[in-house]
Structure 1
Amino acid sequence: MNAARILALDFDGVLCDGMAEYWQTAWRTYTQVWQLDRLEPSPGVAEKFRELRPLIEVGWEMPVLIRALTLGISTDRMLSSWQRIRDRILADSRLSGVKVSQQLDTVRDNWIQQDPASWLGLHQFYPGVIEMLQELPNRKIQPIIITTKESRFVTQLLQDNGVELSSEFIWGKELKRSKTDSLKQLLDRGSKKAPAIWFVEDRLNTLAKVATQPELESVKLYLADWGYNTAAEREAALQQSRIQILSLADLPTLGGNPKKATVAGSKGDLSAVEM
């Protein structure tokens, strides 16, 4: 890769809305991990799961969130202390994030093998995203997807929508690397001139971590207001000088200079671009 301009993109909540799949996969995983195979979700659990989805940083937390909901832990408690609650549930159940993650991936893999059409059908790319990805090579911009999802799932979804992106440019969970470290790697490739990088993410905490790194000062940071974040998080982002709020309509214009949005904002072959 020798691109002078890089558009680094989160996947879930930036490019793709997979909420329906998250719920189905998380519920199946939950019933298997806690050995409740015949259990049906109680009324309102799915809706609460969707409401609290912005708490989730990595996929294995989703079945744990369902566990918290079925235990009757309140929304307010989870909003204020999610990580502590998550860790307590794992400890009480004698589980690890690794074990839950492995089961989650197994559920997805089995589903894709047995009924790929139904799995793919539960994902919706946000309007204009596929067209943008197909157009980026013409603008001499290299997309890099940096995600906590396994890259093979991302590849499958992109291919099903007519986008061919080399595995070199899909950095998934299997790399075991934080997004901060991934951005540092993009900047430090031994070239004489560092590339210009725009990073779009729907998690404020992730962007805030990047903003604390002096080595990443040149990276332009954007919070996707259509993704899995809350009005309070968008309000907080307005107070951070490094982070701009980005609307979905402005996403294809990156490379320019989108203005700060208001808190009321609504929720082809892409091989390396040589400069």
Structure 2
Amino acid sequence: MSNHVPTILALDFDGVICDGLVEYFQTTKRTYHQIWTSEKQTINDDLAPTFYRLRPVIETGWEMPILLRALVLEISEETILQNWSIIARKILESERLDPKEVSQKLDRIRDEWIASDLEGWLALHRFYTGVIDRIARMLNSSVQFYIVTTKESRFVKKLLQQQGIDLPEKTIFGKEYKRPKYEILRQLLEINSASPVNLWFVEDRLEALELVRQQPDLQTTKLYLADWGYNTQQTRESIRDRQDIKLLSLAQFSQDFSAWY
């Protein structure tokens, strides 16, 4: 087995395969108006560019309406970037919100939108240049391909089907698994333990990659930060000289695995 080719390739979805920023903001707006129903202010799209720039602070869906709330409260972009976890917790406490309930509202609004206007919802997403073609080539190779994401699997499946990619459900590990990504990667190793395994993982959040790197039994996993995803220039610069987590460009991703070095 060559270390220069993965036997298993796991990709994050949002920020690696798909750019859903427009959908995030529009779904978040709808959710915001359901949570803060007493507010007469209508959220307009003027906040969208700032919301897009701050997308790297978001780890899970419930944080999106909270981020929009922070912008409405005029908390500065710099403050949010530096202290997001503290700000999010304070807003939850002051507004007496439960993250689980916020998440359920968000998912319900997304479900209703899909049910009433599937084409309109799909049209809010775009796939990064060359990624779908690269996935299609991998599906016709010996590489075992998986998606490991905090997005619900059913949404991932719908979006990929629109692009002509129909993955078996067992290859998509979404939010419903309620497990950290490093635990999912560990499970992938177990699933494929019958033969020598060379696991590679591409993610756009450095924090998620750092958690994988901290696992003693995942030290041989090759980790890549997608530089086209939801991360900042500062984050990308911080790993340029690292060997344990490699910065990967979209041009490299679209090529053969030998170009990933």
Decide whether the 8 Å contact of 1:198 with 1:255 is kept in 2: no
Which deviates further from its counterpart, 58-67 or 239-248?
A: 239-248
Decide whether the 8 Å contact of 1:31 with 1:39 is kept in 2: no
The number of equivalent residue pairs is 256
1:80 aligns with 2:82: yes
Aligned residue identity for 2:99: G
Structure-2 residue corresponding to 1:195: 197
Where 2:254 maps in the other structure, the secondary structure is helix
Decide whether the 8 Å contact of 1:204 with 1:237 is kept in 2: no
1:29 to 31, 36, 40: 31
Q: 1:60 Cα deviation (Å)?
A: 1.4
Aligned residue identity for 1:242: D
Decide whether the 8 Å contact of 2:15 with 2:204 is kept in 1: yes
State how far apart, in whole Å, the 2-side matches of 1:56 and 1:235 are. Answer: 20
5+ long unaligned stretches in structure 2:
1-5
State how far apart, in whole Å, the 1-side matches of 2:38 and 2:167 are. Answer: 39
Identity among equivalent pairs (%):
48
Which deviates further from its counterpart, 246-255 or 140-149?
A: 246-255
State how far apart, in whole Å, the 1-side matches of 2:169 and 2:140 are. Answer: 20
Structure-1 residue corresponding to 2:239: 237
Structure-2 residue corresponding to 1:220: 222
Decide whether the 8 Å contact of 2:252 with 2:259 is kept in 1: no
Structure-1 residue corresponding to 2:3: none
The two structures, once aligned, show a CA RMSD in angstroms of 1.7
Deviation sequence 1:37-64 (CA, Å, 0-9, x none): 7642257421110110111111111110
1:172 aligns with 2:206: no
1:183 aligns with 2:179: no
Deviation sequence 1:177-224 (CA, Å, 0-9, x none): 110111111112372444211100000111111111111111110000
Where 1:195 maps in the other structure, the secondary structure is coil
Structure-2 residue corresponding to 1:119: 121
TM-score by length of 2: 0.93
Where 2:165 maps in the other structure, the secondary structure is coil
Q: 1:36 Cα deviation (Å)?
A: 5.0
State how far apart, in whole Å, the 1-side matches of 2:256 and 2:7 are. Answer: 10
1:64 aligns with 2:59: no
Structure-2 residue corresponding to 1:132: 134
Aligned residue identity for 1:184: R
TM-score by length of 1: 0.88
